[in-house]
Amino acid sequence: MSDPITRRDFVKSGAASSAAFLSTVPLVHGAGQETTIKIGLVGCGGRGSGAAENCLASSPNVQLTALGDMFPDRIKGSQRTLSKLEGYKVSDEMVFTGWDAYKKVVDSGVDLVLFATPPGFRPIHLAYAIEKGKHAFIEKPCAVDPVGVKKVLELGKKAAEKKLSVVAGTQYRHQTSFVETMKRIHDGQIGEVLGGRAYYNAGALWKRDRKPEMTEMEYQLRMWIYYDWLSGDQPVEQHIHTIDVTDWAMNARPVKAVATGGRQVRVEPEFGNVYDHFTIDYEYPGGKHVMSMCRQMANVANHVGAYFIGTKGEADVYKAEIKGEKPWKFEGEISIAKAYIQEHADLIQSIRSGKPLNECEHVAHSTLTAILGREAAYTGKVVTWDEMLASDLDLSPEKYEFGPNVARPVPKPGNER
Read off the pLDDT of residues 193-207 as tens digits, 9 standing for 90 and up.
999 999 999 999 998
User: Can you give the pLDDT at residue 417?
Assistant: 66
CB of 269 closer than 8 Å to CB of 256: no
The residue-averaged pLDDT of 31-41 equals 83
Q: Look at residue 406 in the predicted model and tell me its pLDDT.
A: 73
Q: What's the pLDDT score for residue 405?
A: 72
Domain ranges of the chain: 5-172+341-360, 188-330+367-400
Residues 363 and 142 sit within 8 Å (Cβ to Cβ):
yes
| 201, burial (CB in 10 Å: exposed 0-12, middle 13-18, buried 19+) | middle
What's the pLDDT tens digit per position in 98-155?
A: 999 999 999 999 999 999 999 999 999 999 999 999 999 999 999 999 999 999 999 9
Q: Taking all residues of the chain, what is their mean pLDDT, rounded to a whole number?
A: 92
What are the tens digits of pLDDT across the range 321-337?
A: 999 999 999 999 999 99
pLDDT digits (tens, 9 = 90+) for 158-172: 999 999 999 999 999
Which residue, 247, 273, 54, 271, is CA-closest to 144? Answer: 273
CATH number of 188-330+367-400: 3.30.360.10
Residue 22 in this model has a pLDDT that exceeds 50: no
Kindly indicate the confidence band of residue 230, based on its pLDDT and cuts at 50, 70 and 90. very high
What is each CA distance from 352 to 67, 117, 124, 263, in whole angstroms?
23, 26, 26, 47
Residue 114: what residue type? L
| Mean pLDDT, range 37-59, rounded to an integer | 97
- CATH T-level topology, domain 5-172+341-360: Rossmann fold (3.40.50)
Residue 15 has pLDDT above 60, yes or no: no
Distance CA 141, CA 164 (A): 20
Tell me the pLDDT band of 18, cut-offs 50, 70 and 90: very low
On whether the CB atoms of residues 137 and 347 are closer than 8 A, the answer is yes
pLDDT at 27 over 90: no
Find, among 45, 348, 340, the residue nearest to 221 by Cα.
Answer: 45
Ramachandran assignment for 249, one of left (phi > 0), alpha (psi -120 to 50 degrees), beta (any other): alpha
Cis status of the peptide bond prior to 141, with omega within 30 of 0: yes
pLDDT, one tens digit per residue, over 72-102 is: 999 999 999 999 999 999 999 999 999 999 9
Lowest mean pLDDT among 27-36, 60-69, 222-231, 364-373: 27-36
On the question of pLDDT at 12 being above 80, the answer is no
Are the C-beta atoms of 66 and 110 separated by less than 8 Å? Answer: yes
